[in-house]
Amino acid sequence: MEEARIQTPLGIAVIRGNQDGVSAISVEDGTLKQERIPETLQVPCAQLKAYFEGELTQFDFPMQPEGTPFQKRVWQALEAIPYGQTVSYQELTLRLGDPKAIRAVAAANGKNPLWIVVPCHRVIGSDGSMTGYAGGIHRKKWLLNHESPTPQHSLFG
């Protein structure tokens, strides 16, 4: 397993994977002095940078996330949420065919190992609220604003 670290507007992205695909992408607070990108992770890193520069809306590098079959079903449903759009947890649960599984769907969403690439940030509360996000609500707001066709200017830094 190899690891790359790149600077993003939201902190340091840590990308883990090998020649078979990326297994994890996470974010850490801080600033890098020097990026480190192994050969096998060049494409995912380039695509993440293009996303943050507003030049990429869909990722197409190989992915190998580890999870239960249920978690993988939820993550596939997340990948189907179009760039610039959001769905509620309830709507996501209905798409998966079991309206009573909302807590399990929310838990699987929270276990998403592929930050940004599997867009769990596009899931919001039924009332439009910014519900929990493992990367922090400030990052979720930034990502949704970044993907919005009509970005909102924040009154609060």
pLDDT averaged over the chain? 91
156: pLDDT confidence band, cut at 50, 70 and 90? very low
Domain 69-147 matching CATH 1.10.10.10: the answer reads yes
The predicted structure's pLDDT at residue 153: 53
The predicted structure's pLDDT at residue 32: 92
**pLDDT tens-digit profile of 25-81?**
999 999 999 998 999 999 999 999 999 999 999 999 999 999 999 999 999 999 999
- The answer to whether 120 is a known catalytic residue is yes
- Cβ proximity of 79 and 119 under 8 Å: yes
* Distance separating alpha carbons of residues 65 and 60, to the nearest angstrom: 14
Residue by residue, DSSP assigns 4-28 as EEEEETTEEEEEEEETTEEEEEEEE
Choice among 15, 22, 120, 143 that is catalytic: 120
Which pair of structure tokens corresponds to residue 134? 């493992």
**Does position 132 have pLDDT exceeding 70, yes or no?**
yes
Please state the domain extents for the chain.
Answer: 2-52, 69-147
